[in-house]
Amino acid sequence: MIQFADEAVIKVRSGKGGNGCVSFRREKYIPNGGPNGGDGGRGGDVIFQVRRNLRTLAHLRFHPVFKAQNGGDGMSWNKYGKDGEDIVIQVPPGTAVRDNETGELIHDFTEASGEESFKFLTGGNGGWGNVHFKSSTNQAPRIANKGEPGEERELRIELSIMADLGLVGFPNAGKSSLLEYFTNARPKIAPYPFTTKVPNLGVLRVDENSDIIIADIPGIIEGASDGAGLGIRFLKHISRTVGLIFMIDCGEEGCVDAYEKLLKELSEFGAGLMEKQRIVLCNKIDLEGAKENAALVAERIKSVDPGVEVIPVSVAARTNMDAARTALIKLAAREDVLEDREENAFAPTSAKKSSFMAERSVDDSMEIQFPGSEQ
């Protein structure tokens, strides 16, 4: 069974405040000691915090309940109860916190927001001890407040990987091979469909000060928007990209219609994918008849989407890869896209500030790493 680590449902609860204390001074030779009951301590808060070397949400799936500590009760001699300790829930960058019942977005951790932590639930206040209720008419109050209760919520935690460009295509179109060629990622590559079962990330080095992060998601099949196949589950991971790279296998029958079929699935999924800039790479032109098919694909795309750049390539034969690299860099560096990225809270920041990659883990969960070296 494949374990996906990009979503988890958890329950969180802030701490209850401690109760106030009813107490009176009892000292020798002081017959009329007054009230000295202390206040209860505050309950702990529930805090989400970004941990940048965290890779998945697997730690939340195996620990579904998070409770902050309750505040301690007040004591005699005006001693306050101890404040409860906060519970800090660590999440990777790109995490969205939602209400599990309504789906309402509570908080979104993107690099654009610049926030490292978020206090979600506040612990209950501690109750007053009886020392607060002393007055001229009531010099021996025998009342104290109870601590306020904490809050409890059920949340859905979602992880959307932070990437600049997303790879889209049918199974076995060559997306993983392209990722391996241009970046430091090492995805599993095999000559059969559905080789990619989880998203993979790679870093394309542009120059000494700039990187482009590319995300490869599992291949999309027809009917994906209705739940067929694996690709639809991971389309949300390219919802934050600034551009899309369509990969078409021109060695396959029906490749002429592939672009429109892919657009249909993205359109039905929504999430703004259709508004993103895109280029098309017609792959495998080294195969017999594929170069002619690529010309037909380019002609078809220009008739339905004239503004899209189409580049014939062969990743295996290393054909026309320099042109593809130039197109990728141009797509990621569009000025209007970068302006939108700064204004959009759901978009990642410039790749110049990013230097992480992803590899497949042993249990097929998505892993994001922060490497110190490139290929």
15 is in an annotated binding site: no
Q: What is the CATH number of the domain that holds 181?
A: 3.40.50.300
Comparing 317 with 228, the larger pLDDT belongs to 317
330 is in an annotated binding site: no
93 is in an annotated binding site: no
For residue 351, the SS3 value is helix
- The two tokens of residue 300 are 């078809």
194 is in an annotated binding site: yes
169 is in an annotated binding site: yes
Let me know whether 295 and 346 are in one domain. Answer: yes
Let me know whether 148 and 176 are in one domain. Answer: no
Phi first, then psi: give them for residue 75, nearest 5 degrees. -135, 175
Let me know whether 70 and 139 are in one domain. Answer: yes
- The enclosing H or E element of 202 equals strand 200-207
196 is in an annotated binding site: yes
Amino acid at 290: A
E strand spans, 68-180: 87-91, 95-99, 105-108, 117-121, 152-159, 165-169
Residues 6+ apart with CB under 8 A from 326: none
Q: Tokens 């080095």 correspond to what residue?
A: 205
Residue 114 has pLDDT above 70, yes or no: no
Let me know whether 71 and 113 are in one domain. Answer: yes
Let me know whether 249 and 146 are in one domain. Answer: no
Let me know whether 181 and 258 are in one domain. Answer: yes
Let me know if residue 123 belongs to a domain: yes
Q: What is the CATH number of the domain that holds 20?
A: 2.70.210.12
Question: Cα separation of 359 and 338, whole Å?
Answer: 27
- Model confidence over 139-198: pLDDT tens digits? 889 999 999 999 999 999 988 766 788 888 888 888 888 888 887 655 444 443 444 445
- Mean pLDDT calculated for residue range 12-22: 96
216 is in an annotated binding site: yes
If you average pLDDT over every residue of the chain, what do you get?
78
**Domain count across the chain:** 2
Window from 45-54, 219-228, 232-241, 298-307 with minimum mean pLDDT = 219-228
Let me know if residue 374 belongs to a domain: no
Let me know if residue 229 belongs to a domain: yes
Q: Angle 361-9-126 (CA atoms, 0-180°, nearest 5)? A: 125
372 is in an annotated binding site: no
171 is in an annotated binding site: yes
35 is in an annotated binding site: no
Model confidence at 120, in pLDDT bands (50, 70, 90)? very high
Let me know whether 113 and 188 are in one domain. Answer: no
173 is in an annotated binding site: yes
Let me know if residue 284 belongs to a domain: yes
Let me know if residue 245 belongs to a domain: yes
Domain residues for the domain of 8 are 1-159
Question: Cα separation of 217 and 205, whole Å?
Answer: 20
84 is in an annotated binding site: no
- The enclosing H or E element of 207 equals strand 200-207
Model confidence at 341, in pLDDT bands (50, 70, 90)? very low
Let me know whether 123 and 192 are in one domain. Answer: no
Let me know if residue 375 belongs to a domain: no
176 is in an annotated binding site: yes
22 is in an annotated binding site: no
Residue 324 has pLDDT above 60, yes or no: yes
198 is in an annotated binding site: yes
312 is in an annotated binding site: no
Let me know whether 171 and 245 are in one domain. Answer: yes
Let me know whether 187 and 334 are in one domain. Answer: yes
Residue where a domain stops, chosen among 136, 159, 182:
159
Let me know if residue 130 belongs to a domain: yes
Let me know whether 280 and 352 are in one domain. Answer: yes
Residue where a domain stops, chosen among 159, 183, 200:
159
316 is in an annotated binding site: yes
64 is in an annotated binding site: no
Let me know whether 364 and 243 are in one domain. Answer: yes
Let me know if residue 234 belongs to a domain: yes
Q: Is 77 left (phi over 0), alpha (psi -120 to 50) or beta?
A: left
197 is in an annotated binding site: yes
322 is in an annotated binding site: no
Q: First vs last Cα of the chain: how many Å apart?
A: 32
- Model confidence over 207-256: pLDDT tens digits? 776 788 888 876 665 444 444 444 455 666 677 788 899 999 998 888 99
